[in-house]
Chains A and B, each alone.
Chain A
C-alpha cells in the first residue's frame, strides 16, 4: 500500500509538472533564497530582479551570467503578458525616490519585451525599450514614497521576453548607475553581497559541467575512489538532456543495431526506461547522490581558474548563479565538461572554434580556408508541443521581429508538435560570446516558423487550427570551443572507422553536421553532411586531455576533434561515455600521481580494463583481468539456444513491435536479413498498417545480397504482386516459396501505397538492417536499428554460438568483426528457471560477483519500461557443504551490470539461476565475473 501511495504522489507530481514550464522543482531550484532583508543603504534600495519573493510568470534566467553579471527575470509569455513578479522592500526614510531599471531591449527596432514597474499603486514609465540593444539602466520615474514597507511589481506589457536585471530606488540625486564592470561592487555595496570567495575544499578531481559527460565523469571518478567535486551552473543535472532543456538523448543505438552505449549512461537510461522518463535529471541525480565520494554543487558557475604555474591548474573560481556569492575549489585534476571549454579557456589551453581547412585533414566537405563557422544551437524546454491543434481555425499574425524564412522552406515538416532540430541560425553566430543574442535569434526563427506554417506553407491548410503552445527559451548549444589534445580526431578517422590502440570509447551516430546557413539554407540544407558511420571506430584517449595544460582532461563536445568529426562525437550518449573515460582516467591520475598524458602512455591498458569492467564499450577490448576468477573456470549451463531467428513469437513479445510508433511508409524502405541455413524462404509475413480506405496493389521484390549492408550487388530472386486490403492492420502473409542463392535476403515493396505503413521492430537480432533514400534531401540512409518488421515462416534461422562459455569469453555484446553473440542464452523451448555455472578444479574464495545481462542493446528509445530480454529475477548460488546455497537473491532487476559484493565464501562451483525475464523465453547473460 505504501508503494501505491508513493506512486500516486509521483503521478500527481508528474501531472502537475506536465503542461507548465518550468517544472516546479526546477523553478524552486532557481529561486534565490539567501537575501531575506530587503532594505535601503543610505537612501538607495537595490533590488536584484531575482530578489523578488514571487517571480509570478517571470522566469529567473541564469544562462548568460557570464555575459552580463547575474541572472535576470524573463517574461516568456508567447505574446500574452505574464503574471507580475512581486517584491516587498523596506525604505528607512520618506522622500522622492528615483527609479532606475536595468533591462535590455533585445530588438531595438521593435522593442518586443516591454514592461513597467509598479511601485505601490504607481506605474513607472515603459522599460525594456531603450535605444541600445545592450544591458542598460533606464530612469523610469520619480516616486514620492513613505518610509516603511513598499511593494514593487514587474508588470509585463507584451509577453515577448521582456527582461529585467535590477531595480534601484534612490533618494541620492548623485546616484550614478554602475557600468557592467562595476555591477558586482555595486551589489556588494547596496545588498551586502560578500565578494570574498569561500574555499569549498580540496578535491582529487574537479569536474566542471553537469551534463551527460560531466555527470558521468564525476560518477566514474567517485566510483574509482577519488574525492570528486561536480560543479554545475544549472539547477539540475543533465545538460541538454535535463528536465530544463528536455532534448531527447540520442546515441549510437539510434543508427546501429546492438550498439547502445554501456556504462553509466546505460545505467541511467535503464532507470529512465523503468520510470518512462525522457529527461535524465532524476536518473543522474539518483546515481550521483548514491556516491559518497561525490560532492555536488548546483547553480555554481566557474568564471576563472587559479593556476599553480603556466601549465597546471590549482583551482577554479566560481560565482553562485542565484546570489552572486563567490567560491574557490582546489583540486589536483580537472575535467572540463562545460561544452564550451571554459576551464580550458580560462587556463590557457589551446582550443579551436570552427571548421578546419581542407588542407589540414583532407576532409571531404571541409572549406578551402579555415573559418569560425559552427553549428547552430536550438531553443528548447519542457512544456509540451510547439503547436497544438484547437477546435477552430486560428489565424496568426507574426510579430514584426519574427524572422522572415525562405518560401518554400525546403524542409520536411514532420509534425507541428516538434521544435525541429533544423530551426537554426547561420553558423556565423558566436554561440559563446553572443549567447543571449543567439537565443533571441532562435526565438525570432521560431516565431518566423509559426508564420511560415500558418501563412506560407504549401500545406498550411493542415495547420489552420494550430496555435503556438511552447517555444522554449533555453539555448541548447551544439558546438563552440574544442580543446586540443595530443591528437585531433578527424572525419576520415570516423568514416574509416579507425580504431586506435588507446581507444577509450566508441561512437555510432552519423557524421552529422548541420548546414552553415541554418534554416536559411534552402535546398542545400538542413545538413552540411550526414555520412553513415560504421561500428568499430574508437576515440583515442589522446583526444580527451589538453595538450598544454598538464592536469586538464575534457569530455563531451569540447574534446579534441575536428569540426566534421564532431558530427558523430557530439551526440549526448557518446559524450557520456567520453565522460566516463575521463572520470576514470582522472581517478587513476590521482591514484598514481600521474598526468593524463602519462596515464595514456604508461597505463592505457589498465584504463581500458577498468572501463570495460564498468561496462563501457570499447571496440576490440575484452576482459583480460587476471583477478577475475571466472576466467579460470569451466562454464556449463542447463540448456543452450541453438539458432536465432525472427518469428511470430519474437514479434509478439511485449514492446518488440510497438504498433503505430515510428511506422514508416511501406515503399520507403528496403530490408535485409540473413538468408538462413535453409537457403530458401516459404512465406514472408509483413507487419502492415493500411491507414487508407483504398486497397493498395504493390509488388514485393526479393533479391539476395552477398554481404551484410551491401545493397548494390543484388541478385533478383522473384517479384510477387501483393494486394493490401483497405484499413488492413496486422500481419500480411505473402507466399514466396523460392530458393535464396545468396547470404542475405533483401526485400522491398514497389508501387502505389499511399497511406500504407510498415511497422518497425524495436529489437532485432544482429545482421538485419534497412536502407532508405530520403527524397527530400536526396541522401541515403542505412540503419540497423528500428528495422521494418517482418519474419519468415518457417523462420530464417541462422546459427550462433549461445554456449555457456560465452559468459567468460571476455566480450559483453555482439561483435561485428566475427558476428559472435557472446552471450549465454538458454533454450527458448525449455521453461525457466535455467542456470549457467562456473566450476573450478580448486575451491576459490569469492567475495564479489559481477553480471552483465542482456538489456537489448538494440533499443533506440528509453520509454519502454519492459525489456523482454532482461533477466529480472535470479539467484546466485554457491556449492557449499555438498549442496547449492543461495548467496544472492534478486527480484525486479532493471540493470545490465549488476555488482554483488558478498561475505567471502569458499566454493568450487558457482551458478546463476534465472527464474524470470521481461517476457523472452530464454535467460541471457553476457558476462559473469568473479572476484
Chain B
C-alpha cells in the first residue's frame, strides 16, 4: 500500500525533481464531468519529455467542485499521467487534503484505495451517471430476503462517493485522448519501433495503432508476437493481414514464427490460421512440423486445423 508520503514523492518526482528536461506547458479543452452539458473550458497541462523527446509525464492542477449543492469542499489537486494517459497519482495541494462528505480528512488508507480506484479503467464509475443515479446511501440491508451491497461498494472510497466519482472522471475522461494525441504527435518512427518492442503491452498497443502511419517494417511487427498478449497479437495480425496480398505467404511466415512466440500469440496465430478457407499444402506441412514446439493448447488447436483441412 502506498503511503501518502510515497504518493507525494512520486508526484514531486514526476513534477521535475529527477529530470533535467525543461517543463513544457500546453492547454486542453475539458468539460466538468458533473456538468457535461456546459461548454468545455481550458485547462493548463504540464509535460516533461524523456531523453528521446517523447512525453514521459503529464500533470494538471485541478480545482473542481465535487457536488451539486455547493456545500462540498472543492478539490484542489494535481493529477499525473504517463505518456499513454495512464493515471499515475493524485497529489492534494498542501493544506488542502481530500475530505469525505462529513469533512473527515482522507486517511492514508483512503488515499491508497483512491489510487487503486482511479487506476481501474474498467471501474463501474465509468458508466455510472451520478446525475441520474445519485450517490447511493451506505445501505446494507433490504429486508428479510438478505443484504444487498450497494452497487458502488468497492468502487468508491467509503464516505466519498462524489469525490471518487468526480476524480475518476477527471482522470479517465476526455483528457486522456488529448494527452494521447500529444504523445502521438511527438513520436518518430524510431519511437514507435521502440514502443513496439517494449515489454509494456500498452506501449505495444499504442505503437501498433501507429504502425501504418509511421511506416514500421513487417519484421518489427512480427517481433510483437514474441511478447504480445492476446489483444496485441490480434492487432498485429490485423496489421499484417492488411499488408499482404498473398495470404499463403503471410500464413507461412506466421507458422514459422510458432515456437518463438508468447503463449497468447501462439493461440492467436492458430486461431487466425483456423479462419482461413483453405491452406497451401506448404503451410499445412509447416504447421504439422511445428506441433512439437507448441503449447498443450496450441497442439490441440493445430491438430483441429489440420483435421478440418484434411477432411475438407
Q: Are A3 and B154 in contact (CB under 8 A)?
A: no
Q: Are B150 and A419 in contact (CB under 8 A)?
A: no
Q: Which residues of A contact B146 (CB under 8 A)?
A: 248, 414, 418
How would residues 128 to 160 of chain B score, 1 for a CB under 8 Å from any chain A CB and 0 otherwise? 111111111101111111111111011000000
Q: Are B122 and A653 in contact (CB under 8 A)?
A: yes
Q: Are A678 and B148 in contact (CB under 8 A)?
A: no
Which of B50-58, B192-200, B296-304 is the contact stretch?
B296-304
Q: Are A278 and B144 in contact (CB under 8 A)?
A: no
Q: Are A417 and B147 in contact (CB under 8 A)?
A: yes
Task: Please give the distance in Å from A733's CB to the nearest CB on chain B.
Answer: 12
A175 to B67: give the CA distance in the assembly, Å. Answer: 63
Interface size on A, residues (CB 8 A): 60
A828 to B112: give the CA distance in the assembly, Å. Answer: 34
Task: Please give the distance in Å from A894's CB to the nearest CB on chain B.
Answer: 9
Q: Are A14 and B134 in contact (CB under 8 A)?
A: yes
Q: Are A865 and B151 in contact (CB under 8 A)?
A: yes
Q: At the interface, yes or no: B20 with Cβ under 8 Å from chain A? A: no
Which of A50-58, A378-386, A432-440, A547-555 is the contact stretch?
A378-386
Q: A250 — nearest CB in chain B belongs to which residue?
A: B145
Task: Please give the distance in Å from B177's CB to the nearest CB on chain A.
Answer: 15
Q: Are B144 and A421 in contact (CB under 8 A)?
A: yes
Task: Please give the distance in Å from B201's CB to the nearest CB on chain A.
Answer: 13
Q: Which of A5, A11, A738 contacts B134 (CB 8 A)?
A: A11
A682 to B301: give the CA distance in the assembly, Å. Answer: 11
Q: A469 — nearest CB in chain B belongs to which residue?
A: B141
Q: At the interface, yes or no: B26 with Cβ under 8 Å from chain A? A: no
Q: At the interface, yes or no: B69 with Cβ under 8 Å from chain A? A: yes
Q: At the interface, yes or no: A863 with Cβ under 8 Å from chain B? A: yes
Q: At the interface, yes or no: A295 with Cβ under 8 Å from chain B? A: no
Task: Please give the distance in Å from A344's CB to the nearest CB on chain B.
Answer: 27
Task: Please give the distance in Å from B99's CB to the nearest CB on chain A.
Answer: 18
Q: Are B147 and A380 in contact (CB under 8 A)?
A: no
Q: Which residues of A contact B296 (CB under 8 A)?
A: 680, 682, 737-738
Task: Please give the distance in Å from A152's CB to the nearest CB on chain B.
Answer: 36
Q: Are A7 and B127 in contact (CB under 8 A)?
A: no
A794 to B231: give the CA distance in the assembly, Å. Answer: 12
Q: At the interface, yes or no: B204 with Cβ under 8 Å from chain A? A: no
Q: Are B124 and A654 in contact (CB under 8 A)?
A: yes
Q: At the interface, yes or no: A778 with Cβ under 8 Å from chain B? A: no
Q: Which residues of B contact A247 (CB under 8 A)?
A: 143-145
Task: Please give the distance in Å from B34's CB to the nearest CB on chain A.
Answer: 7
Q: At the interface, yes or no: B126 with Cβ under 8 Å from chain A? A: yes
- CB within 8 Å of B: which A375-394 residues: 378, 380, 382, 384-386
Which of A209-217, A487-495, A656-664, A809-817 is the contact stretch?
A656-664
Task: Please give the distance in Å from B84's CB to the nearest CB on chain A.
Answer: 19
Q: Which of B129, B131, B135, B300 contacts A678 (CB 8 A)?
A: B300
A866 to B133: give the CA distance in the assembly, Å. Answer: 10
Q: Which residues of B contact A4 (CB under 8 A)?
A: 34-35, 68, 131
Q: At the interface, yes or no: B295 with Cβ under 8 Å from chain A? A: yes
Q: Which residues of A contact B130 (CB under 8 A)?
A: 7
* Interface majority SS (helix, strand, loop, mixed), chain A: loop
Q: Which residues of A contact B34 (CB under 8 A)?
A: 4
Q: Are B144 and A7 in contact (CB under 8 A)?
A: no
Query: Are A658 and B149 also in contact (CB < 8 A) when A4-B35, A682-B297 are?
Result: yes
Q: Are B137 and A18 in contact (CB under 8 A)?
A: yes
Q: Are B297 and A3 in contact (CB under 8 A)?
A: no
Task: Please give the distance in Å from A70's CB to the nearest CB on chain B.
Answer: 28
- CB within 8 Å of B: which A911-931 residues: 918-919
How would residues 633 to 673 of chain A score, 1 for a CB under 8 Å from any chain B CB and 0 otherwise? 00000000000000000001111001111100000000000
How would residues 257 to 279 of chain B score, 1 for a CB under 8 Å from any chain A CB and 0 otherwise? 00000010001000000000000
Q: At the interface, yes or no: A684 with Cβ under 8 Å from chain B? A: no
Q: Which residues of A contact B124 (CB under 8 A)?
A: 654-655, 866
Q: Are A865 and B133 in contact (CB under 8 A)?
A: yes
Q: Are A680 and B144 in contact (CB under 8 A)?
A: no
Q: Are A865 and B128 in contact (CB under 8 A)?
A: yes
Q: Are B301 and A678 in contact (CB under 8 A)?
A: yes
Q: Which residues of B contact A386 (CB under 8 A)?
A: 141
Q: Are A418 and B297 in contact (CB under 8 A)?
A: no
Q: Which residues of B contact A278 (CB under 8 A)?
A: 142-143, 148
Q: Are B297 and A678 in contact (CB under 8 A)?
A: yes
A11 to B161: give the CA distance in the assembly, Å. Answer: 13
A419 to B145: give the CA distance in the assembly, Å. Answer: 8
A919 to B128: give the CA distance in the assembly, Å. Answer: 11
A738 to B263: give the CA distance in the assembly, Å. Answer: 16
Q: At the interface, yes or no: B113 with Cβ under 8 Å from chain A? A: no
Q: Are A246 and B142 in contact (CB under 8 A)?
A: yes
A246 to B295: give the CA distance in the assembly, Å. Answer: 55
Q: Are B153 and A866 in contact (CB under 8 A)?
A: no
Q: At the interface, yes or no: A415 with Cβ under 8 Å from chain B? A: yes
How would residues 21 to 54 of chain B score, 1 for a CB under 8 Å from any chain A CB and 0 otherwise? 0000000000000110000000000000000000
A418 to B144: give the CA distance in the assembly, Å. Answer: 6
Q: Which residues of A contact B172 (CB under 8 A)?
A: none
- CB within 8 Å of B: which A840-890 residues: 861, 863-866
Q: At the interface, yes or no: A396 with Cβ under 8 Å from chain B? A: no
Q: At the interface, yes or no: B178 with Cβ under 8 Å from chain A? A: no
Q: At the interface, yes or no: B123 with Cβ under 8 Å from chain A? A: yes
Q: A414 — nearest CB in chain B belongs to which residue?
A: B146
Q: Which residues of B contact A18 (CB under 8 A)?
A: 137, 139
Q: Are B68 and A5 in contact (CB under 8 A)?
A: yes
How would residues 240 to 270 of chain B score, 1 for a CB under 8 Å from any chain A CB and 0 otherwise? 0000000000000000000000010001000
A654 to B133: give the CA distance in the assembly, Å. Answer: 15
Q: A652 — nearest CB in chain B belongs to which residue?
A: B122
Q: Are B69 and A420 in contact (CB under 8 A)?
A: no
Q: Are A380 and B153 in contact (CB under 8 A)?
A: no
Query: Are A274 and B141 also in contact (CB < 8 A) when A4-B68, A655-B151, A678-B297 are?
Result: no
A864 to B122: give the CA distance in the assembly, Å. Answer: 16
Q: At the interface, yes or no: A308 with Cβ under 8 Å from chain B? A: no
Q: At the interface, yes or no: A1 with Cβ under 8 Å from chain B? A: yes
Query: Are A866 and B127 also in contact (CB < 8 A) when A246-B143, A380-B144, A418-B144 are?
Result: yes
Q: Are B132 and A7 in contact (CB under 8 A)?
A: yes
A3 to B300: give the CA distance in the assembly, Å. Answer: 56
Q: Are A7 and B134 in contact (CB under 8 A)?
A: yes
Q: Which residues of A contact B136 (CB under 8 A)?
A: 276
How would residues 278 to 312 of chain B score, 1 for a CB under 8 Å from any chain A CB and 0 otherwise? 00000000000000000111001100100000000
Which of B68, B234, B263 neighbours the largest number of chain A CB atoms within 10 Å of its CB? B68
Which of B67, B124, B131, B149 neighbours the largest number of chain A CB atoms within 10 Å of its CB? B124
How would residues 60 to 74 of chain B score, 1 for a CB under 8 Å from any chain A CB and 0 otherwise? 000000011100000
Q: Are B301 and A660 in contact (CB under 8 A)?
A: no
Task: Please give the distance in Å from A713's CB to the nearest CB on chain B.
Answer: 24
Q: Which residues of A contact B140 (CB under 8 A)?
A: 385, 417
Apart from A3-B131, A278-B142, what are 17 other A-B pairs with CB-CB below 8 Å?
A10-B134, A248-B142, A248-B144, A248-B146, A276-B133, A415-B141, A417-B147, A418-B141, A421-B144, A654-B123, A655-B151, A658-B151, A658-B153, A660-B149, A662-B149, A794-B267, A918-B127
Name 22 A/B residue pairs within 8 A (Cβ), A-sorted: A4-B35, A5-B68, A7-B68, A7-B130, A7-B132, A18-B139, A276-B151, A278-B143, A380-B143, A415-B147, A418-B141, A419-B143, A653-B122, A654-B123, A661-B148, A661-B149, A678-B304, A737-B296, A864-B151, A892-B132, A918-B127, A919-B126
- The 3 residue pairs across chains A and B that have the minimum distance between CB atoms: A4-B68, A248-B145, A737-B296
Which residues of chain A have a CB within 8 Å of any CB of chain B? 1, 3-5, 7-8, 10-11, 14-15, 18, 245-248, 250, 274-276, 278, 378, 380, 382, 384-386, 414-415, 417-421, 476, 652-655, 658-662, 678-680, 682, 737-739, 794, 829, 861, 863-866, 892, 918-919
